[in-house]
Amino acid sequence: MQTLRNIKLRRLASNTSLPPSSSFTHLPRMRRCLSPVSSCLAFSTGTLLLASLLLSMMRSCSDSGSSLIKNFSASTASLTVNRAKEIGLLNATEDLYDGVTVEMKEPMESEVFVSLLRASMSKWRQQGKKGVWIKLPIQLSSLVEPVVQEGFRYHHAESDYLMLVHWIPNTPDTLPENASHRVGIGAFVINNNREVLVVKEKNGGFRGTGVWKLPTGVVHEGEDICAAAVREVKEETGIETDFGEVLAFRQTHQSFFRKSDLFFICMLRPRSFDIQKQDSEIQAAQWMPIQEYVDQAYNKEHQAFKYVAEICKNKSEGAYVGFSAMPISTSSSAKNTYLYFNNLNFNKL
């Protein structure tokens, strides 16, 4: 019986690529902990071989599972590429400078997007396109990294989107940079008594200085200079006005997040006179005799403010003419805009 048993064990071992049972006959009984409560069971040589056989089968199943997972991943990648081919190229709008703009609106998997982008870039390169603009809304921010990895760079960002660009040809990049300037206004409002509307600010560089200054503010996107001046006066003082002229302007650099600044001094005529100051920004507001405004120590000590005060005074005396705003339409876009110029001798041109 013992001999017959050994023969069976040898056959079993040979079928499972294990050493013959005779190699185990010299081993003592072994104990192996298999229970989570640390109870141990004794195994005979035959039982140990059976456990080895089961372990081998489990490894075989594991290898088969890994192959299935790899095959599934490959199939998924193939489906992604096939899906991109089915969709085609990215929708793009051509511009007047041999460029294209892609405005993404619908969600898309990054793998699909990259496949479409690569195919589109190849097509645009063949067509001789130059600049490629990709506009990503904030809800598609997950596509930013894949776009950058394809060679794009940031151009500008707004509250609801990011614009990225790429220059295709092997020539110097001539794409325009982001907006270089911020535009502001200062409002010179003077009444028939030669009094100028002035304010003391709660915030900013003039806070706590005691300086009476002209109402100022920033021109909004899409807003005309003349409209911005009227709006800022209304917001800060409650005074209704009509735009008169641009008296002067100055340009500074590295002013606001490395941007340059254009500041326009505008003359306005009041249509109301009762001041209602903006409590959140304005500490005080009043009508001040223009000479008193000009004679402030701050104006005399700072050249730019001195010149502005003198220009305003000369305007109040009829000794200065600025630039009036004439509404016009451009032939290229048919949009209404304004041309600012000195119209004193316009009829003689």
The closest alpha carbon to 24, from 12, 34, 38, 39, belongs to 12
Tell me the domain boundaries of the chain.
Answer: 92-167, 181-327
Query: What is the CATH architecture of 181-327?
Result: Alpha-Beta Complex (3.90)
Tell me the pLDDT of the chain (349 aa) as tens digits: 444 444 444 554 444 444 444 443 343 443 343 434 333 334 444 444 444 555 555 555 445 444 443 443 333 333 344 554 555 899 999 999 999 999 999 999 999 999 999 999 999 999 999 999 999 999 999 999 999 999 999 999 999 999 999 999 999 999 999 988 999 999 999 999 999 999 999 998 899 899 999 999 999 999 999 999 999 999 999 999 999 999 999 999 988 788 899 999 999 999 999 999 999 999 999 999 999 999 999 999 999 999 999 999 999 999 999 999 999 887 666 678 899 998 887 766 5
| Kind of pairing between the strands at 100-103 and 131-137 | parallel
pTM here is: 0.68
CA distance 320 to 71: 83
Do 181-327 and 92-167 have the same topology in CATH? Answer: no
The closest alpha carbon to 118, from 79, 142, 89, 95, belongs to 89
Cβ-proximal residues to 122 (8 Å cutoff; 6+ apart), any chain? none
Query: What is the CATH architecture of 92-167?
Result: 3-Layer(aba) Sandwich (3.40)
Q: In the chain, what is the straight-line distance between the N-terminal and C-terminal CA atoms, in Å? A: 129
Res 118: pLDDT: 96
How distant, in Å, are the alpha carbons of 104, 115, 134, 337 from that of 137?
7, 20, 10, 29
Res 71: pLDDT: 42
Cβ-proximal residues to 338 (8 Å cutoff; 6+ apart), any chain? 224, 225, 226, 325, 326, 327, 328
Unique residue bearing structure tokens 């005309």? 224
CA distance 77 to 268: 66
